[in-house]
Amino acid sequence: MKKKSNNTSPKYIILFLLIAFGLGVLVQSKFNLRQIIRNGFVSKDTMQRQKLKKIFNIHKIPAWSGVQIKKETEHPTYNEQLIEFFDQENNIRLSSYLLIPKSAKSQKLPAVLCIHGHHSTKENVAGITSSPYNINYGHTLVNNNYITLIPDIRYSQDIWRIEDPMGLNLLLYGKSLAEVRIKDLLRCITYLKHHDQVDHEQIGLIGWSMGGGLALYLSAIDERVKLSYISCYFGTYEKTILAMRQSTDNYIPGIKNFGELYDVAALIAPRPLLIEHGTPDREFPAEIAKMAFEHVKHAYSQRGVKDKTKFVIRKGGHRFYGDQLLPWFNQFFQNH
């Protein structure tokens, strides 16, 4: 009589391993069963990022049609270019400063997209004119061997006569000012990504106030951003934007259905994220920001990178502080 073999068929071993893997993934809540059935294995972060992109109507964003240098100025340690991006199809033009350290002639350097806030300009960020809010971070960074790109933020120079009506009109179409601006900034990142003096794997982002909000959303959406510095824009929707009348650019159709501000920030993990906050701050109270950051810290801890996020509070109100600016960038970016 022929003896039964004790060897298990290879196909059953493979099936068992696949089932075990699938159960393990589901237990860890990294994937969603409905999405697995529909799209295969897609991470929760990827699904959240896709959801956020949908809220901002972001699909494929084309590069700028072209760029023109309007003016060049030489400084002791860097060259300053006033440039204008343009989109011929939609007749859009965006003025920006590009600051390039002279050392970029011999090596590729990290680059930082620098975003100004309300009551401030790209000239303040570039150090061309002074600001009571201390926002000359583009100038500080270029003097420390970083290429900096400092764009205008459209419609932001007159909040109540230009920005507010524009923002309210866009809401009727299911759009927002934040959407318009983020699309501009995505194109600016594409420009840096293809600049021959930029280290394409070292592109950072910094913003203050309104610029901090744009930097937060942009960092969550675009993984080409490798490091983020957010100043004076954090908390929860419940305790900030829903708690008082804010400028219209803060109102984004459907954003509350996505989650909270800390859910947006959590999508930046495992990339380095520093949030700087001032006190007192009526619109974005520091105690609310501190509480919200606990959720961000938890998200980074779950990814095993808790040293890549930091929250600091300084006394002095709603302004840029920047004592952590160079230490943060130098810690994670090379060539310094």
Query: Tens digits of per-residue pLDDT, 10-43?
Result: 666 777 766 766 555 544 444 445 544 454 557 8
- Mean pLDDT for the stretch of residues 240-260: 95
For residue 42, the model assigns a pLDDT of 73
280: confidence class by pLDDT, cuts 50, 70, 90: very high
Number of domains within the chain: 2
Residue 50 lies in a domain: no
User: Are both 110 and 173 inside the same structural domain?
Assistant: yes
User: Are both 268 and 322 inside the same structural domain?
Assistant: yes
For residue 34, the model assigns a pLDDT of 52
Evaluate if residue 315 carries a pLDDT over 50: yes
- Mean pLDDT for the stretch of residues 137-161: 96
User: Are both 17 and 91 inside the same structural domain?
Assistant: no
User: Are both 22 and 83 inside the same structural domain?
Assistant: no
160: confidence class by pLDDT, cuts 50, 70, 90: confident
Residue 71 lies in a domain: yes
Residue 60 lies in a domain: no
Evaluate if residue 185 carries a pLDDT over 50: yes
Residue 284 lies in a domain: yes
User: Are both 150 and 213 inside the same structural domain?
Assistant: yes
User: Are both 74 and 211 inside the same structural domain?
Assistant: yes
User: Are both 33 and 141 inside the same structural domain?
Assistant: no
Instruction: Give the range of the structural domain holding residue 25, as residue numbers without chain letter.
Output: 10-42
User: Are both 140 and 235 inside the same structural domain?
Assistant: yes
Cβ proximity of 198 and 100 under 8 Å: no
334: confidence class by pLDDT, cuts 50, 70, 90: confident
User: Are both 157 and 192 inside the same structural domain?
Assistant: yes
Evaluate if residue 208 carries a pLDDT over 70: yes
User: Are both 170 and 268 inside the same structural domain?
Assistant: yes
pLDDT in tens, 49-63: 999 999 999 998 999
User: Are both 22 and 112 inside the same structural domain?
Assistant: no
For residue 43, the model assigns a pLDDT of 86
Residue percentage of the chain with pLDDT more than 90 = 82
Evaluate if residue 243 carries a pLDDT over 60: yes
pLDDT in tens, 77-102: 999 999 999 998 788 999 999 999 99
